[in-house]
Amino acid sequence: MTEEKSLNFIEEIIEKDLAEGTTGGRVQTRFPPEPNGYLHIGHAKSICLNFGLAKKYNGQCNLRFDDTNPSTEETEYVESIKEDVKWLGFQWANELYASNYFDQLYAFATQLIQKGLAYVDDSTSEEIAATKGSTFEPGKNSPYRDRNVDENLRLFEEMKDGKYKDGEKVLRAKVDMAHPNLLLRDPVIYRIKHAHHHRTGDKWCIYPMYDFAHGQSDSIEKITHSICTLEFIHHRPLYDWFIEQLEIYPSHQYEFARLNMTYTVMSKRKLLQLVNEGQVTGWNDPRMPTISGMRRRGYTADAIRQFCETIGVAKRENMIDVGLLEFCVRESLNKSANRVMAVLDPVKLVLTNYPEGQTEELELDNNPEDPNGGTRIVPFSREMWIEREDFMENPAKKFFRLGPGLMVRLKGAYIIKCDDFKKDENGNITEIHCSYLPESKSGNDTSGINVKGTIHWVSVPHAKVAEVRLYDRLFKVEDPSSEEGDFKEYINPNSVEVLSTVYIEPALANTKPGDRFQFLRKGYFATDLDSTSEKLVFNKTVGLKDTWAKEAKKG
RNA sequence: AGUUCCAUGGUGUAAUGGUAGCACAACUGAUUUUGGUUCAGUUAGUCUUGGUUCGAAUCCAGGUGGAACUACCA
């Protein structure tokens, strides 16, 4: 039985449009980032939506850079955005820029002036704000509102020709200064900016505002469904007004609720602050909710896509538990990541009855979830590194690991029994002595003994050293943006912990940045960009579910 | 205050006038050479008041609560 997946509200609109033929049977979407920052997981939601819809309905999705503000936009951002979209697994039909349309947009503005629907205003930005009115008070007409068409045409051309300084004049649409929607109170549609543009260079010194660029760009590209986030809902009447006055292709805008996630922030302005103020190491810091940060941390594109699918699309404000993202990445990595052994917090274990100098090569499965995952060789010897937390001097009840007299299995090797241990003057365990059961070897265990615990290990003489970076949430509170004061006061001071001496099995010696593993019993880890063959560096992507930690916490 | 949008378990999201379901989280138990995975199960929800209707989460009206808007940013 194939259960029918229910449609989200945008899919319903599209299916209705398709059924009624309102868009001529076409679905054309676009993903319209402004190149003034790196993409984050919230953008991923929009990307999956826009590209996903195009794919589902045999349409196309454009990548369009909304580059109408030269003072904040840079080529570096354009490149990172393209890389991130591709990495997420999507291919755009056309790579476009709002700046491609500057000539057309200028012509549109001229048309509006000719229709008596736009005028050049000499007011300062403060004056315009002051006469805007408020939610309970209508605005006042500008003294320049009734300039005649010819004068407006001349002045606008002079603006374009660089006759005026920044801020000296603007072009405004003539709508209604008493409109209840503040955005329709004669919005500014062109402003003067003597700034170098990353694409058009110094060709222009006037630039269209968002409202005078976005809808028209959609229309030029014959976008059928222009999907954006809720905060643009008030812009829709303006979007429609320009299209109607200009008599151009009627694209339509639909709004959905943006993604919010616990323990992070999702505004480019705030993320930029973290970068600029050195709170993180860069846009791709593994603690950042950016696509590049998550990629570096070890997230798979597949996990992010699955996450976006799972959270759904609706119009109500939401706050997604970051735990859901972690679930998606575990689910993805559980299937794909090879298992290896790494000891993060080492303590030495000596097998007192194992011959000195002897070495065995054990063959272990790479991935029990993947029948075709293959095997690898892991060396075994008399001395082992094991995890400090896998030994308790006075074992708690239900502690199925090592302690005086207790038995465990060394993963893929032998069952061992703890006979003795050594402590230093501070009471720290320095060495654990065990005897192994030769007849309990993995694969042909004839000992007849069943132990409840299995622990991971790395042979001391064969171990490689690596640096491991452990990450915790970037913020201490669920919603830093809604707290009192500056959001940066809520940064988690312990969001990263660097372990400089982690012992890993030799099979990891040739790992390359981007490789992903499960460190057995610890979590998923990815080889960092900083990793070299001389110095291996791993990032913790996410831990395994740890029901023992939960049990231990209960006391 | 005005306008617009929204309201379903702890968190998300379905049910489109006809049995309130799914995922995550939480909690039991089984399996397990990862205290992982897998499997079985449990807890828990329609903001409120009226109306329409044989029947309302759904339609209507009023309340309540939340969000957004008052940049020469997008």
Averages of pLDDT over runs of 10 residues in chain A (555 residues) are 73 96 97 98 98 98 98 95 98 98 98 98 97 93 97 98 98 97 97 98 98 98 98 97 98 98 96 97 98 98 98 97 98 98 98 97 96 95 98 94 97 98 96 98 94 97 98 97 94 97 97 98 98 97 96 78
pLDDT at res. A552: 87
Q: Nearest CA to A118 among A138, A136, A145?
A: A145
pTM (2 decimals)?
0.96
Q: Which nucleotide is nearest to A310 (CA to C1')?
A: B23
What is the CB neighbour count within 10 angstroms for residue A363? 12
CATH superfamily of A268-338+466-554: Ribosomal Protein L25; Chain P (2.40.240.10)
SS3 A172: strand
What is the CB neighbour count within 10 angstroms for residue A316? 7
Q: How is residue A485 written in tokens? A: 């004061």
Say if residue A142 carries a ligand binding annotation. Answer: no
pLDDT at res. A555: 63
pLDDT at res. A554: 73
For residue A508, CA distances in Å to A241, A333, A334, A536 come to: 61, 17, 18, 9
Q: From CA A42, how far away is CA A46, in angstroms rounded? A: 7
Query: Which residues lie below 8 Å from residue A385, measured CB to CB, with a gap of 6+?
Result: A343, A346, A347, A348, A349, A457, A458, A459, A460, A463, A503
Q: What is the largest CA-CA distance in chain A?
A: 101
Q: From CA A48, how far away is CA A56, in angstroms rounded? A: 11
Through-space separation of residue A40 CA and nucleotide B45 C1' in angstroms: 32
Q: From CA A139, how far away is CA A117, in angstroms rounded? A: 17
CATH superfamily of A10-256: HUPs (3.40.50.620)
pLDDT at res. A4: 59
In this structure, what DSSP letter does residue A458 have?
A: E
Catalytic residues of A: 34, 258, 268
Q: Which nucleotide is nearest to A122 (CA to C1')?
A: B72
Through-space separation of residue A305 CA and nucleotide B41 C1' in angstroms: 30
Q: From CA A9, how far away is CA A4, in angstroms rounded? A: 15
pLDDT at res. A491: 97
Rounded to a whole number of angstroms, the distance between the first and last alpha carbons of chain A is 46
8 A C-beta contact, residue A166 and residue A184: no
Q: How is residue A43 written in tokens? A: 């953008």
Please name the residue ranges forming H helices in A362-510.
none
Q: How is residue A445 written in tokens? A: 């265990």
The residues spanned by each domain of chain A are 10-256, 268-338+466-554, 342-456
The architecture in CATH of the region A342-456 reads Beta Barrel (2.40)
Say if residue A43 carries a ligand binding annotation. Answer: yes
Q: From CA A336, how far away is CA A341, in angstroms rounded? A: 16
pLDDT at res. A187: 98
Residue nearest to nucleotide B14 (CA to C1'): A6
What is the CB neighbour count within 10 angstroms for residue A425? 5
Q: Which nucleotide is nearest to A123 (CA to C1')?
A: B72
Residue nearest to nucleotide B6 (CA to C1'): A316
8 A C-beta contact, residue A291 and residue A41: yes
- Residue reference for tokens 């700046």: A99
Say if residue A41 carries a ligand binding annotation. Answer: yes
Q: From CA A274, how far away is CA A268, in angstroms rounded? A: 10
Strand partners, A455: A410
pLDDT at res. A2: 38
pLDDT at res. A553: 81
Through-space separation of residue A364 CA and nucleotide B49 C1' in angstroms: 67
Q: How is residue A224 written in tokens? A: 């059928």
pLDDT at res. A531: 98
Q: Nearest CA to A232 among A217, A207, A220, A214?
A: A214
Beta strands in A316-359 (DSSP E): 338-340, 342-343, 346-351
In this structure, what DSSP letter does residue A7 have?
A: P
Residue at A380: amino acid letter = F
Say if residue A163 carries a ligand binding annotation. Answer: no
Question: Given strand A60-65, what is the order of strands in its sheet?
Answer: A28-31, A60-65, A95-97
Q: How is residue A330 written in tokens? A: 């575990």
Whether A268-338+466-554 shares its CATH topology with A342-456 is answered yes
Chain B nucleotides close to protein (CB under 7 A) are 1-8, 10-16, 23-27, 33-38, 66-74
Beta strands in A152-237 (DSSP E): 170-173, 188-192, 206-208, 225-229
Strand partners, A60: A28
Residue nearest to nucleotide B21 (CA to C1'): A6
Through-space separation of residue A14 CA and nucleotide B15 C1' in angstroms: 20
Q: Up-side HSE of residue A258: CA atoms within 13 Å toward CB?
A: 14
